[in-house]
Structure 1
Amino acid sequence: MKKYPYFYSSLPVISEKNIVDLAKVISSKIAGNIPFEGLENYIYDEVPAIYINSSILGFEVILKGYGGAKGYYLDVSSHPSNNEPDNMNEIDIDIDITRYIASLLEGTPEIKIKYKEIKSKDYISIIE
């Protein structure tokens, strides 16, 4: 039986930018300026969210949140259009790519990565 990995990331970030402008910055850093869209689609009931409407190397990319002090979450995961396994027993391993996504955005002036939150979830080792 063929086994599948499941990739995921939920990176907490803070930015003074609104969700649309932040999405442009993120796209320029990780997605070759492919535009985010779908704010009017309400993919989450009460949380503003936008997404890139195409698979990028097999990943789905969603930016969600209210901004301000609450910040945003950049979710990257295996795209649902991939040939998904028929059942969860076929998923071989969950692979957390949060540290990788953080490294791609690190140093971007418009984005502050919430390292304390990442550290508390054992996503990343931070040497202070």
Structure 2
Amino acid sequence: MKKYPYFHSSLPVISEKNIVDLAKVISSKIAGKIPFEGLENYIYDEVPTIYINSNILGFEVILQRYGGEKGYYLEVNSHPSNNELNDTDEIDIDITRYIASLLEGTPGIKIKYKEIKSEDYISIME
């Protein structure tokens, strides 16, 4: 049987920037400056959340949480419009470390590496 990849990432980051300013920095690093939107849509109940309303190479990009000491979560997942084919099985592919490597060294962003460390991931220098 054919396999269909489902990509997912939940990257914990810390930034003193507010969610809108952080989103601008993230977009410039990973999404060609496509703007985030939807702060008023409350897609995750009461949690501040913004997203890129475009299918970027089959991915959706979501930034959520309150920031400060608790930080934010940057989610990059297979876009919901990319449904698996009827004759395939879905395979989960975690791209958290890849997304971390794209943002590594970005001023104003600190990646919470301790929360994503695992021997199953590629090594990234801290």
Please say whether Structure 1 and Structure 2 have the same fold, judged by a TM-score greater than 0.5: yes
**Structure with the bigger percentage of strand:** 2
Q: Does the alignment pair 1:115 with 2:113?
A: yes
CA RMSD of aligned residues (A): 2.1
Aligned residue for 1:4, secondary structure, equals strand
**Unaligned residue ranges in structure 2 (runs of 5+):** none
Residues 101, 124 of structure 2: 8 Å contact kept: no
1:28-69 C-alpha deviation (Å, 9 max, x unpaired): 000000000000000001211000000100000000011011
Q: Does the alignment pair 1:102 with 2:104?
A: no
Q: Distance in 1 between matches of 2:120 and 2:68?
A: 24
Aligned residue for 2:56, secondary structure, equals coil
- How far off is 1:102 after superposition? 0.3
Q: 1:41 to 1:100 in 2, by over 3 A?
A: same
Q: Distance in 1 between matches of 2:108 and 2:102?
A: 13
The aligned residue for residue 24 of structure 1 is: 24
Percent identity over paired residues: 86
Q: TM-score, normalised by structure 1?
A: 0.89
Q: Distance in 2 between matches of 1:49 and 1:124?
A: 29
Q: Distance in 1 between matches of 2:121 and 2:18?
A: 26
The aligned residue for residue 79 of structure 2 is: 79
- Structure 1 segments of 4+ aligned residues over 2 angstroms from their partners: 83-87, 120-128
Could you tell me which amino acid in structure 1 is paired with residue 96 of structure 2? T
The aligned residue for residue 44 of structure 1 is: 44
- How far off is 1:2 after superposition? 3.8
- Number of residues of Structure 1 aligned to a counterpart in Structure 2: 126
